[in-house]
Structure 1
């Protein structure tokens, strides 16, 4: 759960990007907060937290 002021956004916390990518479901996005913590939230909830320092993470594995 992400808590911002009076809002509570359903979210699941992850420590590893690979874990988050494996758990990602349709209509969900991976986001990273300003402390570097990864979360999965519903697409419809992302706009509610975007202005609070949560940035969308590309769900595709990089080719590094």
Structure 2
């Protein structure tokens, strides 16, 4: 769960991007917060957290920058 102010966004925390890629399902995206923590959230919830330092991570391993 990602908690921002009074919002609680359903999310799953992962140790690294590879682990998140293995768990990724349809209609989900991988994000990384400003502390480098990797999360999976639903596509519909991403706009709610994007302005708080959560950046999308490309699910394609060939372009991994981490």
The answer to whether TM tops 0.5 is yes
Distance 1:15 1:8 in 2: 21
- What's the Cα RMSD here? 1.3
Counterpart check, 1:41 vs 2:41: yes
Detail structure 1 runs of 4+ shifted over 3 Å in the superposition. Answer: none
- Tell me the alpha carbon deviations over residues 5-61 of structure 1, each in whole angstroms, 9 at most, x when there is no partner: 000000000011111000000000000000000000000000000000000000001
TM-score by length of 1: 0.96
Question: Which segments of 5 or more consecutive residues in structure 1 lack a partner in the other structure?
Answer: none
Q: TM-score, normalised by structure 2?
A: 0.93
**Other-structure match for 1:2:** 2
**Secondary structure at the residue paired with 2:44?**
coil
> Which structure 2 segments of 5+ residues have no match?
none
Match of 1:13 in 2: 13
Question: Number of paired residues?
Answer: 64
**Distance in 2 between the 1:14 and 1:49 partners?**
17
